[in-house]
Structure 1
């Protein structure tokens, strides 16, 4: 860790092996809304977990953290186990009084190759994090900083935005919000996404063609 603090209050579990990189890369081409459709519109975090700056996007395996409201010791410890491409998913108990994340943690995340950060709680230093380019989703922002005492846990199942996230589940997040793909369902979800994409593209073509045909008689009547 980059801080000098005892981790005796923390529980750290073994992280699972990440899903194949090819599967993750394939998921990156689909928007979160379509991912939700492919899961029967389940496993979507509530709208309180919102993008903290526009056009942020991430897809990757969940590195999960459970922490006490207003405390980020477990987050610092989790980043020791981070692998490039991970999405940090933090259950900060939905706390709305103190931030558990800020620009210094964002710097560590970028150094570790973290793809994005999802917080059921608050962040701070939003402008600085936006400038760094780290995508963050959270319940809001506060200037009040965190403590570093624990307790907490790393790589355990957590609740985030009203949705269960297991370590290694695949996260996809964009301006619409956050979806959680249980890792054992990822391949079937990807197959459904391809079908949804084809259906939507075919429907767009029909809509655009109908607009062209509707406009043609009107144009002819003016000649």
Structure 2
């Protein structure tokens, strides 16, 4: 049975020109236009020298703590690819480090995204390569397998198919299915253009970079409308707020007209 230990070439890729356009759009803006559900979970950090990258996914599934299939994937992937590694989210053992990532950079790989840990972070930061991972550990990997190349993987809570468009920056990683990538990138570009326009008023003058404060802020700042005295009840015995003094004051105010009438009648 080869399930779990198999290799399939990645033959379908999004257009390189589309990847170049996607690389110029912040991940946050691309995530916004796909209803905020195509981003990998929080925690992916940028460790490589390239901090904003986009390219077609070259998928790898690795056993926790084992990088045999990643070695083969670096040899198979094409320049501009983003190698996406499902390493099970394990942070106990690094999947890759300086030597393997140095070879990936020489081969022109755009980036490597690891749902797991890496090591040699000082050296990774000097490479012309994007590296995203969830953590760092000095513990090195094994090279026994099993694993898979060129099949769908789960990475950062997202299903990634071979050839999908991956865009990553210092905010994190976005996955755009190949069939929807062109429309998503166009929408992301338009969204980014709107957000990049100069504001009519400064943030200080407007009170907020958006209209939310203008719509909701004054009402929130004013607080709830005060209740009438007869509706304000303290938690002590159901007495009006303010206790006995407020109760006596209200009673005296009610008795004043009656006392005045009695005084006039006695004088007459």
TM-score, normalisation: structure 2: 0.71
Contact 2:50/2:129 (<8 A) preserved: no
Q: Is the 8 A contact 2:52 2:170 kept in 1?
A: yes
Matched, 1:162 2:157: yes
Classify the secondary structure of the residue corresponding to 1:89.
strand
Asked if residue 134 in structure 1 is aligned to residue 129 in structure 2, the reply is yes
For residues 197 and 67 of structure 1, the distance between their equivalents in structure 2, rounded to whole angstroms, comes to: 36
Aligned mate of 2:86, from 91, 94, 104: 91
* Alpha-carbon distance between aligned partners in 1 of 2:51 and 2:148, rounded to the nearest angstrom: 27
| Distance change >3 Å, CA 165–CA 195, structure 1 → 2 | same
- Displacement of 1:96 in angstroms is 1.5
Assess if the C-alpha contact under 8 Å between 1:99 and 1:146 holds in 2.
Answer: yes
Whether 1:206 and 2:200 are equivalent positions in the alignment is yes
Per-residue deviation, residues 66-112 of structure 1 (Å, max 9, x unmatched) = 00000000001111211010011100111121101010111110121
The Cα offsets for residues 21-61 of structure 1, whole Å up to 9 and x where unpaired, read as 22111112100000101111111011122223687121100
Q: What is aligned with 1:113? A: 108
Q: Deviations over 1:165-196 (max 9, x none)?
A: 11111111111000001110011102211321
Across the aligned residues of Structure 1 and Structure 2, the Cα RMSD in angstroms comes to 1.9
Q: Distance in 1 between matches of 2:157 and 2:45?
A: 13
1:1-150 equivalent positions in 2, closer than 5 A: 10-52=5-47, 56-150=51-145
Question: After the TM superposition, which residues 182-201 of structure 1 pair with which residues of structure 2 at under 5 Å, given as runs?
Answer: 182-201=177-196
- TM-fit CA distance, 1:14: 2.5
Q: Which runs of 5+ in 1 are unaligned?
A: 1-8, 213-223
Q: Indicate conservation of the 8 Å contact 2:60/2:83, yes or no.
A: yes
Residue in 1 that maps onto 2:173: 178
Q: Give the match's secondary structure for 2:9.
A: coil
Aligned residue pairs, count = 203
Which protein has the larger Cα radius of gyration, Structure 1 or Structure 2? 2
Structure 2 gap ranges (5+): 207-268
Q: For 1:165 and 1:138, how far apart are their aligned partners in 2?
A: 16
Give the 3 Å change call, closer, same or farther, for CA 196–96 of structure 1 in structure 2.
Answer: same
